[in-house]
Amino acid sequence: MGKSSRVRRITDEPRGRAIAQSIARPLVFGSTACDVAEICKHCGVSDSLSLDTDALRDAVTSTTAEIAAAAVRSGRGPDAVELLVAGKYVSPAEAALFPDAGIHLIGENRLQQLQEKQDLLGQALTFDFIGHLQRRKVREVLGRVRLIHSVDSVALATEIAARAEGPTRVLVEVNADEEPSKSGIFPSQVDAFVAQISDLEHIVIGGLMAMPASTADPEGSRAAFSRVRELGERLAVAWDGRHDFRDFSMGTSQDYVVAVEEGATIVRLGRGLIERGKVE
């Protein structure tokens, strides 16, 4: 298939209409001007795109309205909470639709997916790392992300400090319900953990990340979110001047409203949001 027919196939298919919307209006990714159709061609995913910019924008608009209302109920301003979308549910070409849909912060679980999206999209999106981070991959991740959400061991914190070129904000992952099958520091051990890694010169703890035990009712997560917030607020006082503890990364697609009501500053949404942005 030649270049022109390949691009035409992208724009003719119903699942590719989101791409056609952007062809006449190039986006700028990093220092290179390119359009979404060219990105699809480059990625070789002309048949896999199922996101529609308008549908995704509508989903984002309604979600951010819910987040803003929950923030106000918690006594904060409507813009107090960031929406982070998990990148593992989309290809690089689909992620190219995010800025037009109102998504500006993406969280990656794996270094390879982070590299693929960032190398293609450059500064069009802000990247955080939200998955389990292996020590041998710290060097590559550090230079690519704004924030690491998942510091869960002294060894990992030590590696980050050794590779960092200056003060580096991270979040400590808290195992809020002390589930043996999950990673993260048990709440009863967080004080000792913070004291231990505070000896590392470049580590600045910017807050806590948590994912409560799975529950069918979002209200079932409220107590865990509240405990994490109270823990962070106490640590902020205890470590004032050394760490800031201003961020709480908590809440996913099923319970983000409750998380915001309990103090979340970053909510991590994935499949629940992405599915609403798909075309039939």
CATH assignment at residue 171: 3.20.20.10
Question: 129 with 114: CB under 8 angstroms?
Answer: yes
Is residue 33 domain-shared with residue 146, that is, in the same domain? no
Average pLDDT, the chain: 87
Reported as a pLDDT band with limits 50, 70 and 90, residue 41 is low
3-class SS at 223?
Answer: helix
Domain boundary among 29, 49, 69: 49
Is residue 36 domain-shared with residue 111, that is, in the same domain? no
Is residue 40 domain-shared with residue 54, that is, in the same domain? no
pLDDT: is 9 or 136 the higher one?
136
Reported as a pLDDT band with limits 50, 70 and 90, residue 15 is very low
Is residue 36 domain-shared with residue 172, that is, in the same domain? no
CA distances from 152 to 132, 182, 236 (A): 8, 11, 18
Is residue 273 domain-shared with residue 176, that is, in the same domain? yes
Domain boundary among 18, 34, 49: 49
In this prediction, residue 278 carries a pLDDT of: 87
Is residue 33 domain-shared with residue 129, that is, in the same domain? no
For the stretch 173-229, pLDDT in tens is 999 999 999 999 999 999 999 999 999 999 999 999 999 999 999 999 999 999 999
Burial 8-29 (b: 16+ CB within 10 A, else e): eebeeeebbbbbbbbeeeebeb
* DSSP conformation letters of 68-136: HHHHHHTTS-TTS-EEEEEGGGS-HHHHTTHHHHT--EEEESSHHHHHHHHHHHGGGSEEEE-S---GG
- Residue 34 structural domain: 1-49
Is residue 73 domain-shared with residue 43, that is, in the same domain? no
Tokens of 194: 């913070």
Residue whose entry in the numeric block shows the structure tokens 């390949």:
6
Is residue 2 domain-shared with residue 72, that is, in the same domain? no
Task: State pTM to two decimals.
Answer: 0.84
The DSSP H or E segment spanning 226 is helix 222-238
Is residue 222 domain-shared with residue 97, that is, in the same domain? yes
**Proportion of the chain above pLDDT 70, given as a percent:** 82
Residue 111 neighbours by CB distance under 10 Å: 18
Is residue 209 domain-shared with residue 231, that is, in the same domain? yes
In this prediction, residue 279 carries a pLDDT of: 77
Reported as a pLDDT band with limits 50, 70 and 90, residue 49 is low
**Proportion of the chain above pLDDT 90, given as a percent:** 79
For the stretch 154-173, pLDDT in tens is 999 999 999 999 999 999 99
Tokens of 217: 């009712």
Reported as a pLDDT band with limits 50, 70 and 90, residue 129 is very high
Of 154, 144, 83, 82, residue with least CA distance to 110: 144
Q: Span 119-138, mean pLDDT?
A: 96
Domain boundary among 32, 49, 66: 49
Is residue 92 domain-shared with residue 159, that is, in the same domain? yes
In this prediction, residue 33 carries a pLDDT of: 36
Question: 243 with 235: CB under 8 angstroms?
Answer: yes
Count up the domains in the chain and report the number.
2
CA dihedral 189, 194, 200, 203 (to 10 degrees): 130
Is residue 43 domain-shared with residue 154, that is, in the same domain? no
